[in-house]
Structure 1
């Protein structure tokens, strides 16, 4: 599609909207659905997540490597995305279409199978969609702009996937909610992909062999420090989104119908703040902004401990939204720099393998989140909705405030090891400024 919409940051962001609506609904409510509603024990839910991570450790790098090696007339990434779309739809519906009467081992097996299949489909989509970002948008300025737009769409998706989801499943059930979000995914992902045109030069490069590709990737110190720090912060995103329904019920003591208002307070506040963080990135550069975002995020989760009731919960949620917005915008610039430097050293664009390995590191945060849920649950006696223990209120206050603060503090401390690794900040890449400006002009016009 040779129009002004080709490779536009706005149309590309539809892909984020497409995937994040169902993914956010999944991450926010699968624990609540299986543990609180269906009675699956926290221990079995944690075991399922552990088994998934073992598979994820294999399929993430594998699909990234295969994507980098793909050579077709349609590009490297688009064929994978189109092929994975129906698989993603079917497995997402499977997660929330549990046959009636399943309990115990049967429920665990269904949950594990649905989780593995859904995460496999998600992996193919995320690896290839994520690999397109640094390929299509070259240069820090346009990446910061594209990231801000993309994260704005992500916040809309987070709002729908978190705040609207309870309204839908309360009215129509979990299965119909899943079908509705699956249809939305197909529409928005098609709008994204039909406007994407991959760059020709990437298809002509001879790919690295398997061992060499992983050797070069795994010895990249910058890559590891950046993604390990990100993984702890990413844990907080998943932990907050999945624990808010429990927190609302047991700590704030508000009815299920008001959970949407609480989630909306967090995510609506993020939308205008994305623009604020784009401005901060422009002024301070990627590294300083990323580090500052994690520090602000750590401080922003503290008020969640003190909230009581819907009103104070909403105020605490707005504060948390400011920290969240910074973490959503800032990592894309640093990730792009790492991939660009690798391309200069190897002579090949290897977005797929870097996106995949980074995806595994950050998505392993799901295990940290699950283990935190399990440990805090054991300490305070929470087993499931059928057996919440003697003090579930304090348990979920810890899980939305104390644990996130500790994880974000670890992220910030790890980020300090990147000092002087990125000596060239935004707008100072000699030899790239003219290319970046030309690229931005093409996209804008």
Structure 2
């Protein structure tokens, strides 16, 4: 029975389910928790995110490089993931468990330290998990299937991490909520690891030296264009997730308890729409399908501007689901093609470095998101939950619709410069 599921898309996707439940709860509610609930200023929250990104710029590529060069009887990636599991669980709990009675500077210090630890451990897991994808799944068809299954699991995780989280923290507080999610993460991650075996041949491929490895990565123009375009779209993912609680409160004017309904409407619709995108990208060139996902996503955020009630917000959320589904499915396929072509050129399997640098570029979207929050907040006078300014409704209409649309237009523009020449054998 185990052999049947070994390295199957379903078992690989359990890793996504494990990671995305706490990660989505974090990205959706850490700003709301620290800024609106605990009173940390937007400026200090943005400063903490900026300091983290400087640290992240260093550790992401290094973790990828070390992972590529790891060679044990258990594999290259699995030992890193096993070791990171308990540290991820602890750091996630720390983020949502600051001591009571801290001054604003004390709260900032706690937030910064917890954020740096959490994101560093998360980097180890994401880099090694993502590096397994092009190794385990070969060819466009299998990758399209694996990506669709993976993103289906991701949507389930998004539903849990966004829709269930308000119910949990309303009932038991953020601290106990974080403990539950940490335990769920640990169990699901062990299921994933038990059913994944790495390719022994991949571990035997020669590795480039430190300078050469990074030089080959940094001069790959296609890789940079793809991932910078992804970064702007990823910013939209982060904005939508983190702004929904504010949007519900200040624009739709619904009770906090109904956040779960609004968030659920977005992500429930994505599950069947992932299958639609799987059908589309099997019939399209991967790059064209990837570009189309940006166009669909840009159009889908427009209706959010017109939301005035829970019902209209739900309708707009369902429409967003179509664009979101496309962006979730298509990037792994395009990035895997880039990694394959690098292997053909260099003879070295460097999924770790490419996944790490790609992760840093897309994760830097958090800074873009934080800066957008800061700038729009300054324009409209929003400071925090106690001082929302004279027009918080406009603040969050712009942040959830106008800003995402502009970011996705940038992604569309960049995508037209991406050209990937392929041989027929590469498409099998």
Give the structure-1-normalised TM-score: 0.95
Q: 1:431 to 1:400 in 2, by over 3 A?
A: closer
CA contact (8 A) 1:38 1:103 kept: no
Corresponding residue for residue 61 of structure 2: 61
Q: Does 1:98 align with 2:98?
A: yes
Aligned 8 A contact 1:15 1:192 in 2: yes
Deviation readout 1:161-180 (Å, 9 max, x if unpaired): 00110000000110111000
Mapped contact 1:39–1:103 kept (Cα < 8 A): no
2: CA distance, partners of 1:286 / 1:76: 28
Contact 2:140 2:427 in 1 (8 A): no
Contact 1:40 1:103 in 2 (8 A): no
Kindly indicate whether the alpha-carbon contact (under 8 Å) linking 2:298 and 2:404 is maintained by their aligned counterparts in 1.
yes
* Deviation per residue, 1:155-203 (Å, 9 max, x gap): 0000000011000000011011100000110111111111111001111
Paired residues for 1:155-194 under 5 Å: 155-194=155-194
The CA deviation at 1:348 is 1.3
RMSD across aligned positions (CA): 1.0
Measured after TM superposition, the shift of residue 101 of structure 1 is 1.2
Alignment of 1:161-240 (within 5 A): 161-240=161-240
- CA shift, 1:432, in A, is 6.5
Mark the runs of 5 or more structure 2 residues left unpaired by the alignment: none
- Cα deviations by residue, 1:412-438 (Å, 9 ceiling, x for unpaired): 0100001xx2244xxx732763xxxxx
* 2:408 equivalent to 1:430: no
Q: Give per-residue Cα distances to partners, 1:380-427, cap 9 Å, x unaligned.
A: 000111111110000000000000000000000100001xx2244xxx
Residue 88 (structure 1) aligned with residue 88 (structure 2): yes
Q: CA deviation at 1:293?
A: 0.6
1:273 aligns with 2:281: no
SS at match of 2:411: helix
| Deviation (angstroms), 1:2 | 6.0
Query: Residue 316 of structure 2 aligns with which residue?
Result: 316
Q: CA deviation at 1:103?
A: 2.7
Q: Deviations over 1:1-53 (max 9, x none)?
A: 96111101001100000000000000000000000000000000000000000
- Residues 293 and 330 of structure 1 are in contact (CA less than 8 Å); yes or no, is this contact kept in structure 2? yes
Deviations 1:49-97 (A, max 9, x none): 0000000000000000000000100000000000000000000000001
CA contact (8 A) 1:269 1:318 kept: yes
Separation (CA, whole Å) in 2 of partners of 1:29 and 1:261:
16
**What CA distance in whole angstroms lies between the structure 1 residues aligned with 2:292 and 2:103?**
46
- 1:391 is aligned to 391
Taking the aligned partners of 1:243 and 1:103, their CA distance within structure 2 comes to 25
**Equivalenced residues, count:** 428
In 2, Cα distance between equivalents of 1:99 and 1:27: 21
Provide the residue aligned with 2:120 in structure 1. 120
**In 2, Cα distance between equivalents of 1:391 and 1:48:** 26
Cα distance in 1 for residues equivalent to 2:306 and 2:102: 38
Cα distance in 2 for partners of 1:276, 1:217 equals 33
Q: Deviations over 1:122-152 (max 9, x none)?
A: 0000000000011100111100000000000
- Residue 7 of structure 2 is aligned to residue 12 of structure 1: no
Identify the residue that residue 356 of structure 2 maps to in structure 1: 356
Q: Are the equivalent residues in 1 in contact too, given 2:34–2:40 (CA < 8 A)? A: yes
Partner of 1:22: 22
State the SS of the aligned residue for 1:7: coil
Q: Hey, what's the Cα distance between the residues in 1 that align with 2:214 and 2:392?
A: 45
Change (3 A) 1:200 1:164: same
- Against the structure 1 CA distance between its residues 54 and 284, is the aligned structure 2 distance closer, same or farther, given a 3 Å change threshold? same
Larger CA deviation: 205-214 vs 223-232: 205-214
1:432, 1:331 → 2: CA distance? 16
Structure 1 gaps, min length 5: 434-445
Of 177-186 and 203-212, more deviation after overlay is shown by 203-212
Corresponding position of 1:70: 70
Contact kept in structure 1, 2:291 and 2:412, CA below 8 Å: yes
Q: Secondary structure at the match of 1:388?
A: coil
Q: Secondary structure at the match of 1:73?
A: coil
Contact 1:64 1:355 in 2 (8 A): yes
Distance in 1 of aligned mates of 2:216 and 2:399: 38
SS of match in other structure, 2:214:
helix
| 1:102 Cα deviation from its structure 2 partner | 1.5
